[in-house]
């Protein structure tokens, strides 16, 4: 085949450092737009972005010539720098070191989009930690819990 083709949907999940509830409601919509711009700037396509005060969910199409870790690093670093200029409360803001990235089939994209949109309702009954553990179990990812919650 003379060309390389790919369409990889990724559901990215990561938390604030120590799951501190730092992300303020008044900054959320601008933060989502900013993260979408970062992802676009890396040649990927953002499909859905939502945050709770202590974590983020991002669904995007990964450009075939970029590593997932490069996208994650770019999003976290740029969003951190942007937040720190936004308000004094973010002076010491950090994301957690790790992340979870989960493949999404094209047939499930709308279900995942809806799931991401409904985070506020979802987290009235389930903590971020329980949600993340459920993803790890669903995707059969082995992990050591002592390293998951920095």
End-to-end CA distance of the chain: 44
Is 0.95 topped by the overall pTM?
Answer: no
Q: Which domain holds residue 85?
A: 8-147
Residue 134 domain-assigned (yes or no): yes
Quote the number of domains for the chain: 1
Q: Which residues of the chain have pLDDT under 70?
A: 1, 144-150
**Chain segment 90-107, per-residue pLDDT in tens:** 999 999 998 999 999 999
CATH of the domain at 100: 3.30.70.1290
Residue 2 domain-assigned (yes or no): no
Task: Tell me whether residue 5 is exposed, middle or buried, using C-beta atoms within 10 angstroms of its C-beta: 0 to 12, 13 to 18, 19 or more.
Answer: exposed
């Amino acid at each position: 085949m003379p060309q390389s083709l790919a369409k990889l949907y990724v559901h990215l999940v990561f938390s604030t450092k120590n799951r501190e509830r730092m992300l303020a409601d008044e900054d959320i919509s601008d933060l989502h737009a900013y993260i979408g711009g970062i992802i676009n700037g890396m040649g990927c396509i953002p499909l859905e972005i939502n945050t709770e005060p202590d974590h983020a969910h991002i669904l995007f199409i990964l450009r075939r010539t970029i590593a997932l870790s490069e996208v994650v690093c770019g999003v976290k670093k740029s969003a951190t720098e942007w937040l720190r200029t936004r308000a004094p409360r973010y002076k010491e803001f950090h994301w957690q070191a790790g992340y979870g990235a989960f493949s999404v089939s094209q047939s499930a994209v709308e279900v995942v989009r809806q799931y991401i949109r409904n985070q506020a309702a979802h987290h009235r009954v389930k903590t971020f930690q329980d949600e993340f553990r459920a993803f790890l179990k669903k995707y059969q990812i082995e992990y050591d819990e002592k390293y998951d919650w920095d």
